[in-house]
Amino acid sequence: MLLSTLMPNVFVKALRKLPDLHDEQYALQTCMSYYDSTSGPQENTLVLPLCKKIKKRIVYTVLEYSPLLDSCNMATDDWARIGKDIEKHYEKYDGFVILHGTDTMAYTASALSFMCEHLGKPVILTGSQVPIYEMGNDGRDNLLGALLIAGQFVIPEVCLYFHHKLYRGNRVTKVDSGSFNAFNSPNLAPLTNADVDIKNNWDTEWRANTTSRFRVSTQMNRNVGLLKLFPGITAVTVKFFLQAPMEGIVLETYGSGNAPDNRADLLEEFRNATERGVIMVNCTQCLRGTVTTSYATGKALSDAGLVAGCDMTSEAALCKLSYVLARTDLSIEAKRMMLSQNLRGEMIADLQGAKLTLSDSDDLDEVTKSLSISCKEQEAVRDGLTPTLACAASKIGDLEALDAVKELVRNSYINTSSHPCINRFDRVFIDVYQISNINSAKKINVLFSGPSSSMDSPMLGGRTGVSSHCMVMLHLSMTYMSITLCSLA
């Protein structure tokens, strides 16, 4: 474990005096001071007391920076220095803990999450509201909790640990300057809760779908900024803010991403900036929620060229913008596209208005083959995804996707053209198309099942039979139809 700190050089000596953060007797008995050393004792290597629940010890080495910085003085060069130190020692340690001031910790956590590419180990930032040397401090608990989590679990993310909770680093913001519970993750539940027991929310954990070698990208574009809308803001203010050398801004808007749609002067400045190549990301001023285009005032900004920031925090959006704009190998349009993608779990993409398409593949073989699993497992994945695809297609009224799902069913589940179920599948999907055009129907459920069974349904226009291998449930509401296909044992 490597602990990177912005504390004074007396920090290690202070830690040695704290029995909950260092077992001096064990270190002397086992010569732990020689850990990872070929030249002599390493006084900055410490060891935690034995944790009875995990029955192992966590050894950590402290790397202290000089000169020391108040977190308010942090800049992109300091982010790069931390990132490079992680990269330098990446193969030697199982995890990394960074002690950092709380004022800009959310920015550093967000920046490192984008700079650390193909991360496979935990990187945890933590700090304290009260210095660790003072009575009644929260620093000891925060440091100990971060060390225990980084030493026990493989959570391949840049995280922030504070007040018994581990958050995704690019999801947090500081919400309280006078409380131990200083940070919050408004739009994502904590990854870990460390109370009496450490409980991980593995479903929330972000894992990169790559085996590429870890690297740190230190190039960050500094010509970015934050602009907060307020009632009465002038077009002159916006114009001067968007002038060169500004290359990108995060625009903090009202509610779900709204701005005045009766201010032609403001919208004109945004359009002009877009035409000059300035990339603008629309983020909400609200603590929770996401940016949408449901209202005309939100659509006006989208039409002016702003990229929807969805549910990103302003800190994450700014750091992501700085990271993406530094990519000299990408065009403006490619950068805009990259900003709208979920790179490190920093956002949930806005799927409103998205169209389901299976045109790139006749079936799900491309998906299942990419998982490098057996044929039977591929069939299980295909069986599991087919109902979801059918439901999504019917919900948004995408008949082309329904056709593709029908072909998937025909080709995947029925390998012979003489199978008696083929015509029945055709009939079911045709009837689904007919039902989707009925707007006045009340909610009903129709179930087909059983060997060679059939049912009369006036909604389906007659008798329809389905083989014992399949069950088709049609759910009709005022607005959409959802379909579930599942294989029966």
**Three-state secondary structure of 41-92:** CCCCEEECCCECCCCECCEEEEEECCCCCCHHHCCHHHHHHHHHHHHHCCCC
Asked whether 104 and 129 are in contact (CB, 8 A), the reply is no
- Rounded to whole angstroms, the Cα distance separating 310 from 187 reads 10
To the query of whether residue 173 is one of the catalytic residues in this protein, the response is no
- Rounded to whole angstroms, the Cα distance separating 407 from 405 reads 5
Q: Side by side, which strands form the sheet with 248-253? A: 224-228, 248-253, 279-284, 307-308
Cα–Cα nearest to 313, from 292, 285, 337, 349: 285
| Residue in the block written with tokens 């993608």 | 341
Single-letter amino acid code for the residue at 474 = L
SS3 307: strand
Exposure letters 343-378 (e unless 16+ CB within 10 A, then b): bbbbbeebeeeeebebeeeebbeeebeeeeeeeeeb
SS3 452: coil
- Rounded to whole angstroms, the Cα distance separating 314 from 285 reads 8
The one catalytic residue in 5, 76, 102, 297 is 102
Q: What is the DSSP letter of 32?
A: G
Q: Side by side, which strands form the sheet with 470-476? A: 444-448, 470-476, 481-487
Asked whether 280 and 249 are in contact (CB, 8 A), the reply is yes
CA 277 to chain centre: 27
Could you give phi then psi for residue 435, rounded to 5 degrees? Answer: -65, -35
Asked whether 228 and 239 are in contact (CB, 8 A), the reply is no
- Rounded to whole angstroms, the Cα distance separating 370 from 378 reads 10
Two tokens at 263?
Answer: 């201010």
Helix (H) or strand (E) holding 418: none
Q: Which residues are catalytic?
A: 102
